[in-house]
Amino acid sequence: MTATGKDTDLDRADRLAHLFRIAAERDRGVLLIVEGVAFPTIQYVIKQVVDGLDPRHFALLHVDHDVESKRGVPFLHEFWAALPRRGDLLILDRSYYFKLVRGRTTGQIGKSVGERLLYDIRDFERGLEENGYFVLRVYIDQSRKDLKSDKKKRKEVTMRVLESRYRDLLKHFNDYDSRFAEILAATGADAEWFHLHTEKRKRCLVSVMDYLIARLEEKLEVDSRKEVAEFDLAMQRKRERERDKAAGGSA
C-alpha cells in the first residue's frame, strides 16, 4: 500500500521516538542543539519534534536573547547544570553558541576571549561525547527579508518572551548571521552541523527529522524503519487474535 503524507509523517515520528527509546535503554544521553536565524520556523520544528516524545525523558531549555555571563559564573555553567542524566534528551533552543554570538555582538566578549570560549565549547562537547552523550547540531537559516515578510509564521510568535526575541533578532540580524557563519566555519572540521535554508517550514521539519533519524541510526547501529514495522505488525496480529478470541466467545 502506498503511504499517504500523513502515514509518512507518523512513520518519521514513530521512528524518532523509537530511536530515543533505544538511546535511553542503552544509557546514552542526547544533546540536540538548534540554532539559526529562522526563528518562527525553529519554534515550529522544535514543537513538532517533541510532540512525539516521552515527556519523562526530555527537557527543553530556551536561551533568551539578553543572555549574559554573571560575574564569577563560568560561561558554560547553566548548560552544564541543565545536562540530562544519560538516557535522556536535552534540546537547546539556542545554546552556548548563541551566548557567544550575543556577547560578541554586544561587545561584552572580545575577539581573543571569544576564541578561547569557542575552544572551551568544543572541549565541553568532546567531553560529553567521550562520556556517553550524542551531540547533534542543527542550524536553520533564512534571509532577513523572508523572516520579516512571512506573516503566517509571525502570527505564531505570540508569547511576549518570543516576541521580544523576534524583535531582537530583526534588530541584530546581520551581526548574528555573520558571526554564526564564522562559528560554523571555525567548528566545521570537527563538529558536524546540519545546515539548511528554510523556505517551507514543513519541508524544513522533514529534513531535520530525517537528519536526526539518520544520525541516531548510525550511532546506535539500528534500522528504525524495520524495527518499527516489525512492532506495528506484532501489534496488528495481537489485535487480530484478541478480536478472534472475542468473536469466538460470543458465538
Q: How confident is the model at residue 3 (pLDDT cuts 50, 70, 90)?
A: very low
State the burial class of residue 110 (Cβ atoms within 10 Å of its Cβ: 0-12, 13-18, 19+): exposed
Please give the pLDDT value at position 1. 37
* Whole-structure pTM value: 0.84
What are all long-range contacts of 64-68, with beta carbons under 8 Å and residues at least 24 apart? 64/161, 64/164, 64/165, 65/102, 65/164, 65/165, 65/168, 65/169, 66/102, 66/168, 67/98, 67/99, 67/102, 68/102, 68/103, 68/108
Mean of per-residue pLDDT scores for the chain: 84
Please, are residues 32 and 82 in contact by the beta-carbon 8 Å criterion?
Answer: no
Q: What is the dihedral of CA 181, 82, 22, 17, to 10 degrees?
A: -70
- 8-35 pLDDT, tens digit each: 777 888 899 989 999 999 999 999 999 9
- 100-156 pLDDT, tens digit each: 999 999 999 999 999 999 999 999 999 999 999 999 999 999 998 888 876 556 555
